[in-house]
Amino acid sequence: MKRLLSLLLFVLPLMLTAATLDGPKQKKATNDTVVPQTFEYVVRNGKPLLLDLYRPSNPRPDSACVIYIFGGGFATGSRNDEYVRSYCQLLAKHGFTAIAIDYRLHLKEVDYDSVNIFNMRDVFSDAINFAAADAASAVAYICRHSAEWGIAEKRIILCGCSAGAIAALQLDYSRCNSLPPTYSLPSGWQPAAIVAFAGGVYSDEGLPSYSKKPAPTFFLHGDIDKIVNYKKFPPILREGLYGAKKLHRIFEKEDYPHWFFRFEGIGHEVASYHMVMYDEFEVFVNKTLKGRSMHYDAEIHDDNLRPTKWSKMNVFDLYKGGN
């Protein structure tokens, strides 16, 4: 595995000290399989939305929780997809209480042939805000049961890939700006951290701005991603989805704590990197939960992470079934 020397010099020492100096003392992960419990957390339009709770056999001393939000273009996917289950099992084996949530798939019934650059706002803004609102309702439900489930409300991390990463970032953006998607959040609650694999923030008022300080955020994004665009989509309009490159610049300018990992020559494949990037995830979370304010920008080269057909696809290919 070949990564930039700067990344190795930075991350490896953190990994060595994460469980000693700054991170919680961890028990070694076991091969035990956690049997999740399923709960209904809200009803939308007569349909219950569910969450799966994975309680670790050896919880972290800090009672941290990761809420995982699946991807699927707001049209497909489920909290119990195989990759979601695998990731939640991994989190639980490392002591996290892991919770996978469902949310409304607003684009499931959309006629994708009718989608074009001029109606993207109407098509996608509701889908994004519905998902963020559902995630906020899940947070509220989890906080109501936090004592019962052994969760520290101030140590809840939001993590997602693709559409799920957008929902997580949108929830925090809406929280910071007191927008409707987060009206159901408990008063004063904020995420301990956000981890976004190929995500972005939708804004209809131009470049996103934060009235309150956002949560420490870990952005992971491929620099040729055209599905969740690395920079912005559509590029010619003020409103649209602002990707990790644009958000990094905002966070950097405002001195908001964040990590930004750019995968050179990789597209939307980064949405599936949550397993291979687990060590970096845990270092970021451990340091953040200990109150360390961090700013890091890394360009990632890894011979084991290669582009696939996803690097050639754009958002229209995704919804029209392009190859």
Q: What's the rounded Cα separation, in Å, for the pair 126 and 188?
A: 25
Which pLDDT belongs to residue 319?
72
Q: What is the pLDDT of residue 321?
A: 59
Residue 274 CA to residue 165 CA, distance in Å, equals: 11
For residues 277 and 159, what is the distance between their CA atoms, to the nearest angstrom?
13
Give the count of beta carbons closer than 10 Å to the beta carbon of residue 244.
32
CA 273 to mean position of chain CA atoms:
12
pLDDT for the residue numbered 315:
76
DSSP β-ladder status, 193-197 and 97-101: unpaired
The stretches in the chain having pLDDT less than 50 are 1-30, 322-323
Q: What is the DSSP string of 28-45?
A: PP--PPP--EEEEEEEET
At a CB cut-off of 8 Å and minimum separation 6, what does 5 contact?
none
Which phi and psi angles does 243 have, rounded to 5°? -85, -175
Name the pTM for this structure: 0.88
Q: Which helix (H) or strand (E) holds 250?
A: helix 244-254
pLDDT tens digits for range 17-29: 333 333 333 333 3
Q: Which residue has the tokens 């809406």?
A: 174
pLDDT for position 120: 67
Q: Is 159:198 a contact under the CB 8 Å cutoff?
A: no
Q: Which domains, ranges and CATH numbers included, belong to the chain?
A: 5-25+37-320 (3.40.50.1820)
User: Burial level of 15, CB count in 10 A (0-12/13-18/19+)?
Assistant: middle
pLDDT at res. 117 = 66
